[in-house]
């Protein structure tokens, strides 16, 4: 019995990680993080990486535990969440795509003077854990009875997958300077634009999935 539970836990944790990792996509989001924090010290950037990782973990765990109930309480469908979140993500990506270097530097200065207030929004939500991530997390919520052990094993497995993704986010953000620092400002700008384009495409995909869900 314990072996079966252990295998189930491992399978659910691995499935949750594999479902969330492509949506969170730390390799693509790291250049954005590095660009937005380019005017602060390495020590401060490392501290922010830890905070963003921690906030990502807390946000997704809260969604896992109470997200389904909140949506039912407010009578909001997951498809509406996808459309609203996709629009938000699209708007942010569009601004990044069309911003000039001077605009980005100005945003960096704003981030430097008030970085603490921007750790959750926009660095955690929606850049790191966006609407797509929240939608996937909602889809991973176990549907069994809370009185059954299997349900709690499923919750623990999903939570472990979320923790693993949050840890990967910390590793990429913490060592962002090492991964991308040699590219220089011009190289980072190119990668940032490419990442913004990917973010733009993700936003469109999320909106489209939400729209298809509503009309079906």
pLDDT tens track for 84-126: 777 877 887 787 778 765 454 545 555 555 566 679 988 898 8
CB neighbour list of residue 104: distance below 8 Å, 6 or more residues apart:
35, 189, 192
Task: Provide the pLDDT for residue 188.
Answer: 67
**Residue 70: predicted pLDDT:** 83
Cα–Cα distance for residue pair 215/145, rounded to 1 Å: 30
> What pLDDT does 109 receive?
52
Residue 26 CA, distance from chain mean position: 8
The total number of structural domains in the chain stands at 1
Whats the size of the chain, residue-wise?
216
Range of the domain at 139: 2-215
> CA 166: distance to chain centroid?
9
Buried b (16+ CB within 10 A) or exposed e, 102-117: eebeebbeebeeebee
From first to last of the 216 residues of the chain, give the pLDDT tens digit. Answer: 678 888 999 999 998 998 888 788 888 788 888 878 877 888 999 999 999 999 999 999 999 999 878 877 888 777 787 787 778 778 877 877 787 654 545 455 555 555 666 799 888 988 899 877 888 888 788 877 778 888 899 999 999 999 999 999 999 999 988 877 666 667 667 777 777 787 788 778 778 878 888 887
The pLDDT score that the predictor gives to residue 52 is 96
CB 166 within 8 A of CB 53: yes
What is the pLDDT, as a whole number, of residue 171? 96
| 20, 164 Cβ separation under 8 angstroms | no
**CB of 208 within 8 A of CB of 85?**
no
CB 32 within 8 A of CB 127: yes
Q: Which residues, other chains included, contact 160 with Cβ-Cβ below 8 Å and sequence gap of 6+?
A: 9, 13, 16
| pLDDT at 27 (0 to 100) | 81
pLDDT score for 206: 73
Residue 110 is predicted with a pLDDT of 53
On whether the CB atoms of residues 27 and 195 are closer than 8 A, the answer is no
């Amino acid at each position: 019995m314990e072996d079966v539970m252990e295998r189930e836990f491992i399978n659910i944790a691995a499935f949750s990680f594999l479902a969330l990792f492509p949506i969170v996509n730390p390799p693509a989001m790291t250049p954005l993080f590095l660009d937005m924090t380019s005017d602060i010290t390495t020590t401060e950037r490392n501290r922010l990486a830890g905070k963003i990782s921690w906030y990502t973990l807390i946000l997704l765990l809260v969604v896992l535990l109470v997200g389904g109930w909140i949506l039912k309480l407010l009578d909001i469908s997951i498809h509406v969440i996808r459309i609203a979140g996709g629009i938000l993500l699209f708007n942010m990506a569009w601004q990044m795509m069309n911003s000039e270097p001077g605009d980005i530097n100005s945003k960096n200065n704003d981030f430097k003077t008030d970085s603490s207030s921007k750790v959750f929004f926009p660095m955690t939500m929606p850049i790191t854990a966006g609407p797509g991530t929240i939608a996937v997390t909602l889809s991973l919520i176990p549907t069994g009875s809370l009185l059954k052990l299997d349900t709690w094993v499923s919750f623990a497995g999903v939570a472990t997958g979320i923790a693993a993704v949050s840890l990967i986010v910390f590793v990429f953000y913490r060592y962002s300077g090492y991964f991308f620092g040699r590219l220089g400002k011009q190289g980072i700008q190119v990668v940032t634009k490419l990442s913004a384009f990917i973010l733009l495409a993700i936003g469109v995909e999320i909106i489209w999935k939400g729209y298809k869900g509503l009309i079906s």
